[in-house]
């Protein structure tokens, strides 16, 4: 009976791994684009944490309204001490629903904020569109 159960469990494990979706280079690139960057060597200072939270709440309140960024950058929200910008990596521009931009900015807050000085700075690709980079900094 024990051997029978081991055989069943082995078959289930093989079936689970066989049915798993294979990962391609394109999938890996899409995952890499989701990585949040907290680089401090990019122009612009660290932004106000409270201002960033206000902007994220504002962008989330816009729901499915498109947030469209250009190759030169488009300001989605300005508050004292913070700007959230969308930067396209294509000449045609790129857009994502504003609530997806807010999600990307929220991930920046989670990963890049400094509670000690209440600042944040970082970049992350918008949910739903890897061609739109969301940037938080003080301009």
pTM: 0.73
pLDDT at 42: 66
Residue 23 pLDDT:
41
Residue pair 76/86 in contact (Cβ under 8 Å)? The answer is yes
Q: What pLDDT, on the 0 to 100 scale, is given for residue 72? A: 92
122, 108 contact by CB (below 8 A): yes
Q: What is the mean pLDDT, run by run of 10 residues, along the chain of 139 residues?
A: 42 38 42 68 83 98 97 95 95 96 97 92 93 94
- Please write the tens of the pLDDT for every residue from 5-18: 444 434 333 433 33
* Alpha-carbon separation of residue 18 from 13, 21, 85, 86, 135 (angstroms): 9, 8, 42, 40, 39
**CA-CA distance, 54 to 78, in Å (whole number)?**
9
């Amino acid at each position: 009976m024990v051997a029978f159960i081991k055989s069943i469990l082995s078959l289930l494990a093989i079936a689970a791994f066989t049915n798993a979706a294979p990962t391609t280079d394109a999938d890996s690139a899409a995952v890499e684009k989701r990585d949040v960057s907290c680089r401090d060597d990019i122009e612009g200072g660290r932004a106000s944490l409270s201002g960033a939270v206000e902007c994220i709440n504002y962008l989330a309140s816009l729901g499915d309204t498109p947030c469209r960024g250009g190759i030169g950058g488009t300001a989605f929200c300005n508050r004292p001490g913070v700007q959230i910008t969308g930067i396209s990596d294509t000449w045609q521009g790129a857009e994502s629903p504003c609530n997806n931009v807010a999600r990307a900015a929220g991930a920046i807050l989670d990963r890049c904020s400094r509670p000690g000085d209440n600042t944040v700075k970082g970049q992350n690709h918008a949910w739903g569109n890897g061609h739109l980079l969301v940037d938080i900094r003080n301009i």
